[in-house]
Amino acid sequence: MNSTDTLVKIIMDRWNGAMKNCDELLNTLTDEQLAKETAPGKNRGIYLLGHLIAVHDAMLPLLDLGPLKYPQLAKPFLEEADKVATDLPSVQELRTQWNEQKQDLKQQFEKLSTSNWLEKHTAVSAEDFAKEPHRCKLNIILTRTTHLTYHTGQLILLK
């Protein structure tokens, strides 16, 4: 394993660790707890759960792994703030999608090599990527990892 492989590993380990922590937390929270606000007047647990699924779903086209699987989540959980949409999916539906997505991402990510992770993501042009090689697929994983831990820090307040 060369030093580039080592750094890919530490980032993927951190993503997998953050997903595991959030997943274990979600399994300890009841549907009733997820229906509550994380702090008075702030986002509810159900909104954060839907938001994480929608953000992780949006990684698929960015990483050139196919189209969105849950396009219906973009409007209520990305474009709109919490408590705007009047017909959210149930916590149970979101839990099912979280679990499906967790397995799917794990399987897809395990197939990618170090050189795949260093390829450009789809939102940057080839011309820009030649000058800015840090705008690679692995950078998407890293920014989504810190996004995930940010919201996990909020979800834990529901306990």
Q: What is the DSSP string of 42-109?
A: S-BHHHHHHHHHHHHHTHHHHTTS-S-S-GGGHIIIIIS-TTT-SSPPPHHHHHHHHHHHHHHHHHHH
Those residues whose C-beta lies under 8 Å from the C-beta of residue 80, and which sit 6 or more positions away, are: none
113 binds a copy of itself (CB under 8 A): no
145 binds a copy of itself (CB under 8 A): yes
Q: Which is nearer to a copy of itself, 10 or 92 (CB)?
A: 10
User: 29-68 mask for a copy of itself (x: CB under 8 A)?
Assistant: ---------xxx-x--------------------------
Binding footprint of a copy of itself on the chain (CB under 8 A): 1-4, 6-11, 13-14, 18, 38-40, 42, 114, 118, 133-134, 136, 138-139, 142-143, 145-147, 149-154, 157
